[in-house]
Amino acid sequence: MKRSVLRVVGRRDTPRPPDSAAILAAMPIPVVVLDAEDRFRFANDAAEQFLGISSASLANLRLIDLVPDDNPIFLLIRQIRAAEVTISEHDLSIESPRLKKHGITVQGSPLAGEPGSVLLILQDVSAARQLDRQMSFRSAARSVAGMAAVLAHEVKNPLSGIRGAAQLLETSVNDQDRELTDLIRDEADRITALVDRMEAFGEKPVDRGAVNIHRVLEHVRRLAKSGFAADLRITENYDPSLPHVNGNRDQLVQVLLNLVKNAAESLTFGNTPFGEITLTTSFQHGVRLSVPGSDQRLHLPLAVTVRDNGPGIPEDIRDNLFDAFVSSKPSGSGLGLALVAKIVADHGGLIEVDSRPGRTEFRLFLPMLSETP
Ligand SMILES: Nc1ncnc2c1ncn2[C@@H]1O[C@H](COP(=O)(O)OP(=O)(O)O)[C@@H](O)[C@H]1O
Ligand SMILES: [Mg+2]
């Protein structure tokens, strides 16, 4: 009698493990199994999403149908079969008419008891890399802050002397020479304005609180429509139930103004017919981002995007887009996006960009009021 009671209790304490197929299906990491002829024998839900193909369709496909045969993934698979060990390869690109993925980490293992079959785990590390880059943008912004402090001292003081001298001269020269004194004054003002903009990188503490991002966007839209974007169409696509952002209103105005201004300039310089800027807000449920090299998890559910249908970001500056002084414009300062990156990082947020001709989108992820990181 005693023993049977014990047995019942024991069974309750160690419940039967869930079905392994259910575990695989629920895994948020793409997993596929290929047979000895590289046919897809299995793909979990995450893999279907990753590849953009249902498992029913995958069942009729071979890897070669998705990826050209010179892709290093085939070498990886051959090595796994030959050595019968787990091998991983980083930074693979999978590019074909059906699929375009970069910065993929693939881990593969032979499947025990199934000769020639390999299990592949595919991971898109580009989101983590984005975050990594974000961290380095931040340090780039710091070095700008240091430089701005030096410039403010070493440049602004002598400049005000030069400006004052030009103003004095103005009173005693003829009209023709006055053009020159005007030039000196205007150029001195331009340099002062540039240094002032750089000083915005300083580490002054700012107040944070509840900010209604729709009010910020409305303000930015009004500024744009009454100035640099007067002839452009600005479309809004807002989620009215969006909670407040935890942030600084003036800084967020600055961020969005810089993004909208860049969008407007790309449309104007690119002579885009039917130029349009679209502002969107949305709530991202349940997305958490891990920070590389730490156990921090960011919960940034508020997404704000600024999209334009302009020519796209020039290829040669994409990798350094958020660095200071990177600009493709004849008189651009290249400080706009560096300041955006700095403010977003100070807010504990994240910014991503996606650009191709006809569609450039800057996506901003911000913390909600109750979720100060
Ligand atoms: N929406 C956009 N479309 C195309 N290119 C863009 C866009 N936003 C930014 N860029 C590119 O990024 C560069 C850097 O932008 P930014 O830091 O604001 O400096 P600036 O506007 O002074 O050039 C721009 O010169 C431009 O080449
Ligand atoms: Mg700019």
**pLDDT confidence tier of residue 291, bands split at 50, 70 and 90:** low
Least confident of 131-135, 146-150, 219-223, 335-339: 131-135
Given a cut of 80, whether residue 205 has pLDDT beyond it is no
Q: Domain with 304 in it: what CATH number?
A: 3.30.565.10
**pLDDT confidence tier of residue 364, bands split at 50, 70 and 90:** very high
Distances (CA, A) of 18 to 23, 43, 217: 7, 19, 48
Task: Kindly state the percentage of the chain with pLDDT values over 90.
Answer: 35
In a domain, 296, yes or no: yes
In a domain, 138, yes or no: yes
Q: Is 46 helix (H, G, I), strand (E, B) or coil?
A: helix
- Do 230 and 245 lie in a common domain? yes
Ligand number nearest to the C-alpha of 333: 1
* Mean pLDDT computed over 43-49: 90
> In this structure, what token pair is assigned to residue 174?
């003829």
Given a cut of 50, whether residue 3 has pLDDT beyond it is no
In contact, 277 and 307? CB cutoff 8 Å: yes
In a domain, 204, yes or no: no
Calpha distance 256→240 (Å, rounded): 18
* Mean pLDDT computed over 312-324: 90
- Do 223 and 314 lie in a common domain? yes
In a domain, 372, yes or no: no
Q: Give 278's strand partners.
A: 235, 307
Given a cut of 60, whether residue 322 has pLDDT beyond it is yes
Q: Is the pTM of this model over 0.75?
A: no
In a domain, 24, yes or no: yes
* Mean pLDDT computed over 261-283: 94
Choose the final residue of a domain: 141, 175, 199: 199
> In this structure, what token pair is assigned to residue 306?
């600024």
In a domain, 30, yes or no: yes
Given a cut of 70, whether residue 137 has pLDDT beyond it is no
Q: Domain with 58 in it: what CATH number?
A: 3.30.450.20
Given a cut of 50, whether residue 320 has pLDDT beyond it is yes
Which pLDDT belongs to residue 142? 61
In a domain, 159, yes or no: yes
> How remote is the CA of residue 105 from the centroid of ligand 2, in Å?
34
- Do 248 and 346 lie in a common domain? yes
Which ligand 1 atom minimizes the distance to the CA of 263?
Answer: 1
Cα-based torsion angle of the residue sequence 173, 178, 183, 188 in order, rounded to the nearest 10 degrees = 50
- Do 302 and 221 lie in a common domain? yes
Read off φ and ψ for residue 243, nearest 5 degrees.
Answer: -70, 170
**pLDDT confidence tier of residue 2, bands split at 50, 70 and 90:** very low
Calpha distance 252→361 (Å, rounded): 17
Quick one: which H or E segment has residue 212?
Answer: none
Given a cut of 80, whether residue 108 has pLDDT beyond it is yes
- Do 182 and 301 lie in a common domain? no
> How remote is the CA of residue 330 from the centroid of ligand 2, in Å?
12
Q: Give 361's strand partners.
A: 307, 354
**pLDDT confidence tier of residue 268, bands split at 50, 70 and 90:** very high
Domain carrying residue 31 = 2-124
Least confident of 1-5, 45-49, 65-69, 145-149: 1-5
Question: Which of 257, 276, 337, 344 best tests ligand 1's pocket when mutated (most atoms within 8 Å of CB)?
Answer: 337
Given a cut of 50, whether residue 212 has pLDDT beyond it is yes
Q: Give 104's strand partners.
A: 92, 124
Which pLDDT belongs to residue 264? 97
Which pLDDT belongs to residue 18? 76
Question: Which of 232, 262, 309, 331 best tests ligand 1's pocket when mutated (most atoms within 8 Å of CB)?
Answer: 262
Which pLDDT belongs to residue 135? 59
Using the CB atoms, write b or e for 253-271: b if 16+ within 10 Å: bbbbbbbbbbbbbbbeebe
Distances (CA, A) of 97 to 67, 94, 101, 297: 9, 10, 11, 35
Choose the final residue of a domain: 91, 124, 157: 124
Q: Domain with 135 in it: what CATH number?
A: 1.10.287.130
- Do 58 and 139 lie in a common domain? no
- Do 33 and 174 lie in a common domain? no
Which pLDDT belongs to residue 13? 56
Query: Which protein residue has the closest C-alpha to ligand 1 atom 1?
Result: 263
Given a cut of 50, whether residue 319 has pLDDT beyond it is yes
Return all residues near 204 (Cβ < 8 A) that are at least 6 apart. none
Question: Which of 327, 343, 351, 356 best tests ligand 1's pocket when mutated (most atoms within 8 Å of CB)?
Answer: 327
* Mean pLDDT computed over 311-318: 94
- Do 274 and 361 lie in a common domain? yes
Q: What is the mean pLDDT of the chain?
A: 83
What is the count of structural domains for the chain?
3
- Do 186 and 113 lie in a common domain? no
Read off φ and ψ for residue 180, nearest 5 degrees.
Answer: -70, -40
- Do 218 and 310 lie in a common domain? yes
Choose the final residue of a domain: 124, 150, 171: 124
Q: How far is CA 264 from the centre of its chain?
A: 20
Task: Kindly state the percentage of the chain with pLDDT values over 70.
Answer: 83
* 318-281-269 Cα angle (round to 5): 40
Ligand number nearest to the C-alpha of 332: 1
In a domain, 371, yes or no: no
> How remote is the CA of residue 327 from the centroid of ligand 1, in Å?
6
Given a cut of 50, whether residue 373 has pLDDT beyond it is no
Calpha distance 80→88 (Å, rounded): 9
- Do 338 and 219 lie in a common domain? yes
Calpha distance 189→102 (Å, rounded): 45
Q: What is the pLDDT of residues 72-104, one digit of tens each?
A: 899 999 999 998 888 888 878 887 777 788 878
- Do 104 and 147 lie in a common domain? no
Which ligand 1 atom minimizes the distance to the CA of 337?
Answer: 17
Q: Residues lining ligand 1, CB < 6 A?
A: 258, 262-263, 266, 308, 310, 312-314, 317, 321, 326-329, 332-338, 360
Given a cut of 90, whether residue 313 has pLDDT beyond it is yes
